[in-house]
Structure 1
Amino acid sequence: KLRDSGQPCPCRGLSASENLIRWQKMLAGGYTEGGAVVRIKTDLKHPNPAVRDWPALRIVKAPHPRVGKKYPVWPLYNFSAGIDDHLMEVTHVIRGKEHEVNEERQRIMYEHFGWRYPTAVQYGRLSMPGVELSKTQTMEMIRSGRLSGFDDVRLATIAALRRRGFLSAAIRQMIFDIGLTPVDASLSWETLYAYNRKILDPIAGRYFFVANPVKLLVRGGPKLKEARLRLHPGKPEMGERVLPLSFENSSLVFYISRSDASVLKVGDTFRLKDLMNVKLESMDSVFGASFHSLEVMDVPKFQWVSGGAVVLEVIKPDASVETGLAEPSVAALKVGDIVQLERYGFVRIDSTIPKLTAIYAHR
């Protein structure tokens, strides 16, 4: 109450010798918790009451997890952080603007010691719509089991972004471009996607994946055993991958995604990407089609898989799982590999044993 009204407390005018006596009593455990506190003397007329005679050390009787009951007096945040910065010879302090008052407190302490305060830069809060960025709330959700950990795909922590396939270079460049500003900013996922895509697109291998597959039999097609496709359409030096073709009663067997199949009707001509054009003839439990031609036509293009396809589970950003079939080459990828599933999106391989799973990053 005295501090808030700008009035001195009764012990503020005590001599240095008396304060030292009381300090030794604190160290000896002669006060109860809350019975004494060390404060940093400041201007009682400071416009912000939080800066006036702020508390620096207090008494804690509870055992410390490392040193037990060895010390009864412990520093509070501003004393501890301020002293640490000096002892570690910190030259620049970069922290959220909510610490502006803490900087004022620490500067006064540095003046008392005759130290030079580091260069300090405050920045505004960076938020993302629909994402919990609060460390306190995140910890609570992890403890309650609502999140699996700090790398849960529903989070925007560095661990979660890494697990989804966001490159550190993309995050770093985005932060550089945003810059340090005290103004609160809202960052969209699309912005982050664009930075990551710019780096990934030239280096990520391409693969076919069909979600919720539908079987397609094509009669009359060429008797091919495999298709050889570039790993990256613009970089032949990256090599090729092989897609085996399988047959059933002399018909070529393919699988296309249910979403692609849902837009078709009997009589439609479409292209199995990078392979052939076919004409749909039936839509029973198994789709039936006939071979049309090989040359590229102005018709819808669909991803496909055939012989040796492997089951792949893709974990989406909302933690839902989409299951489908991927071309055989995907089975040879390693945990941590980031690839593009064509017309689906970039994914990062998350596990290969006991099953093949990937985390969806973005389109």
Structure 2
Amino acid sequence: MDDDLRERVEHEAERHALLNAVKHGEEADVGAVIGPLMGENPEFQEHGDEVPGVVAPVVSRVNELDEEGRQKRLEALAPDLLADLEADDEGDDHPLPDLPNAEEGAVRMRLAPNPNGPWHLGSARMPAVIGTYKDRYDGWMLCRFDDTDPETKRPDLAAYDAILDAIDYLGFEPDEVARASDRMETYYEHARELIDLGGAYTCSCPAAEFSELKNSGEACPHREKAPETTREEFDAMVAGEYDAGEMVLRVCTNIEHKNPALRDWVAFRMIDTPHPREAASEHRCWPLLDFQSGIDDHLFGVTHIIRGIDLQDSAKRQRFLYDYFGWEYPDVTHWGHVQIDAYDVKMSTSTIKGLVEAGDLDGWDDPRAPTVASLRRRGIRGDAITEAMVSLGTSTSNVDLAMSAIYAANRERIDEETDRAFLVRDGVEKTVVGGPETGEPPVHPNHEDRGVREIPVEGAVLIEPDDVPANGERVWLKGYGCVRHTRDAFEFVGTDIDVVREEDVPVVHWVPADDNRTVLLRTMEGDVEGRAEPGIASRDPDEMVQFERIGFARIDAQNEGETVAYYAHS
């Protein structure tokens, strides 16, 4: 680690250590500092072995300060973080900062999904955060499908319902649902009004020609058209009298604006590809997102917008519209992208769709897919995803979400209620000499009142290859007793658990060699076959089990002779 990087790590570590100490009113914890530090600064991750050694002395220095000293140092180093802490409602620990200018009962927010496919996992962040804000402020939430691009981001008809289902799964319900493709006349009316205000003109310049003019700060020759001419040509656009690329409607901004992306941007263009929704298929003149979304946010009374930091120019473009119409622009929060580890598949709707269509993924709920549908099928609770997403806050920096955060939140929700079971992969058969005819492991180790599972032994068991002890050594078959590996068989020794506590005899899981159930366990790494205790056949689809020493899984189907389960996490 070079000196510049070390200095950055120390700076960020001090910010997070001060925040941790001031927030909780106690000494900062190194572990609690490293998590968000690495999440907000993914470039530190390749130096993961060195970072704790840099962070630890910084945390020690912070802990040497008294409470007042920490507060003053945080105010000097990161006043924005201190302000967020002080804004927390009555000292409650909110992972999300207060919304600016928010009033209880008056906050109106919107989700604006593009329905070009079901949601990948990163898409869950928006409903998780906006839904949480809605609940926090007793507010109102719109789900508006921004589906006015029937060509480049062509809507998937099945995605509309899939997205609404995903929002429900994550724990929220929109107060209203709208489809932008149903609102075309509204956009046309506002375009005509904008033309009458002198705020838009029709342009037939070839794209390359206009780009050259724009980049040099020169006005398009069509800019001086009379509003009446523009109205006539725009109505011809609406009537479908132009081909794709032949005519656009541009918003008049500042042709010499320092940001070329804001100069006379396109509000409407012609698209020949029909919309997949029959109700919208007649339209050929379509608004671009900045126009459509800007109009809708006002008409629906949206007070607060959360969008990606890469869309900062959208707010700037839309402010030109709002100035023409005399509207007040909503408060906007921009956040960085969320990146998620643990997947080989890129978190992109188009990429996942391509893999599904090629047959490389079984569907959007394939366990290898980084999608909401996949996690749901694996047995991950929607509110566990929401909790993990909300914990990321609304930082403008790109943040990393470790899947372990979702798994930890899910484990808290399901561990106590989930029954246990045995599953053996690549089983090695061993004859059992002596001993009981059945094993009786508990249904749940923390709940004796749930009883035991009666598993027949019938003279032989299967255990996993790594669990087979050397000849002469012992293992404890969980729920059965102690056996010694003798002459390629297991000789029953007894049921004195002290051999585990005092002599470090390993505890292993097992299943009967004959009376067992074939299980296909679907995982992120691929399918795994194994044999489970016979009782697994009676588990209902959608029920969760914990395969001991393997992990939690959701029962997906009970087929003839086989149980299909989806692996959730350890």
Whether TM-score is above 0.5 comes out as yes
Mean Cα deviation higher: 65-74 or 98-107: 65-74
> 1:289 and 1:87, CA in 2 relative to 1: closer, same or farther beyond 3 A?
same
SS in 1 for 2:318: helix
For 1:269 and 1:194, how far apart are their aligned partners in 2? 34
> 1:9 and 1:346, CA in 2 relative to 1: closer, same or farther beyond 3 A?
same
For 1:67 and 1:172, how far apart are their aligned partners in 2? 34
Quick check: 1:61–1:69 contact (8 Å CA) kept in 2? no
> 1:233 and 1:118, CA in 2 relative to 1: closer, same or farther beyond 3 A?
same
For 1:219 and 1:278, how far apart are their aligned partners in 2? 9
Look up the match of 2:471. 266
For 2:495 and 2:279, how far apart are their aligned partners in 1? 76
Cα deviations by residue, 1:264-301 (Å, 9 ceiling, x for unpaired): 21101111112211111123xxxx12111111112011
Look up the match of 1:17. 228
* Sequence identity percentage: 33
What TM-score do you get using the length of structure 2 for normalisation? 0.58
Matched, 1:158 2:372: yes
TM-superposed CA distance for 1:31, in Å, is: 3.9
Matched, 1:244 2:494: no
For 1:278 and 1:344, how far apart are their aligned partners in 2? 22
Look up the match of 1:313. 520
SS in 1 for 2:296: helix
Cα root mean square deviation, aligned: 2.2
For 1:174 and 1:290, how far apart are their aligned partners in 2? 48
Matched, 1:303 2:509: yes
For 1:38 and 1:202, how far apart are their aligned partners in 2? 60
Alignment equivalent of 1:214, drawn from 428, 431, 438: 428
Mean Cα deviation higher: 124-133 or 292-301: 124-133
For 1:190 and 1:71, how far apart are their aligned partners in 2? 46
TM-superposed CA distance for 1:32, in Å, is: 4.0
Matched, 1:345 2:566: no
For 2:243 and 2:531, how far apart are their aligned partners in 1? 68
For 1:353 and 1:56, how far apart are their aligned partners in 2? 54
SS in 2 for 1:229: coil
Mean Cα deviation higher: 48-57 or 121-130: 121-130
Quick check: 1:317–1:361 contact (8 Å CA) kept in 2? no
Look up the match of 1:144. 358
Look up the match of 2:529. 323
Matched, 1:180 2:387: no
TM-superposed CA distance for 1:233, in Å, is: 0.8
Matched, 1:81 2:282: no
> 1:30 and 1:268, CA in 2 relative to 1: closer, same or farther beyond 3 A?
closer
Mean Cα deviation higher: 187-196 or 63-72: 63-72
* Counterpart residue identity of residue 257, structure 2: H
For 1:245 and 1:70, how far apart are their aligned partners in 2? 69
* Counterpart residue identity of residue 389, structure 2: I
Alignment equivalent of 1:333, drawn from 533, 539, 557: 539
Look up the match of 1:106. 318
* Counterpart residue identity of residue 104, structure 1: K
> 1:71 and 1:234, CA in 2 relative to 1: closer, same or farther beyond 3 A?
closer
Mean Cα deviation higher: 59-68 or 296-305: 59-68
Alignment equivalent of 1:97, drawn from 309, 322, 337: 309
Give the structure with the higher percent helix: 2
For 1:102 and 1:274, how far apart are their aligned partners in 2? 62
For 2:282 and 2:492, how far apart are their aligned partners in 1? 84
For 2:240 and 2:293, how far apart are their aligned partners in 1? 24
For 2:273 and 2:528, how far apart are their aligned partners in 1? 50
Look up the match of 2:216. 5
TM-superposed CA distance for 1:347, in Å, is: 1.2
SS in 2 for 1:142: helix
Mean Cα deviation higher: 294-303 or 34-43: 34-43
* Counterpart residue identity of residue 179, structure 1: G
Mean Cα deviation higher: 122-131 or 34-43: 122-131
For 2:303 and 2:280, how far apart are their aligned partners in 1? 33
Alignment equivalent of 2:493, drawn from 292, 304, 329: 292
Count of residue pairs brought into register by the alignment? 349
SS in 2 for 1:291: strand
TM-superposed CA distance for 1:175, in Å, is: 1.1
TM-superposed CA distance for 1:69, in Å, is: 7.3
* Counterpart residue identity of residue 106, structure 1: Q
> 1:245 and 1:3, CA in 2 relative to 1: closer, same or farther beyond 3 A?
same
Give the structure with the higher percent strand: 1
Alignment equivalent of 1:278, drawn from 483, 490, 496: 483
SS in 2 for 1:323: strand
For 1:333 and 1:171, how far apart are their aligned partners in 2? 25
SS in 1 for 2:223: coil
TM-superposed CA distance for 1:62, in Å, is: 4.5
What TM-score do you get using the length of structure 1 for normalisation? 0.88
* Counterpart residue identity of residue 263, structure 2: R
SS in 1 for 2:485: strand
SS in 2 for 1:230: coil
> 1:130 and 1:176, CA in 2 relative to 1: closer, same or farther beyond 3 A?
closer
> 1:107 and 1:238, CA in 2 relative to 1: closer, same or farther beyond 3 A?
farther
For 2:284 and 2:471, how far apart are their aligned partners in 1? 83
For 1:215 and 1:69, how far apart are their aligned partners in 2? 64
TM-superposed CA distance for 1:119, in Å, is: 2.9
* Counterpart residue identity of residue 450, structure 2: M
* Counterpart residue identity of residue 322, structure 2: Y
Quick check: 1:275–1:294 contact (8 Å CA) kept in 2? yes
Structure number, greater radius of gyration = 1
Matched, 1:126 2:344: no
SS in 1 for 2:487: strand
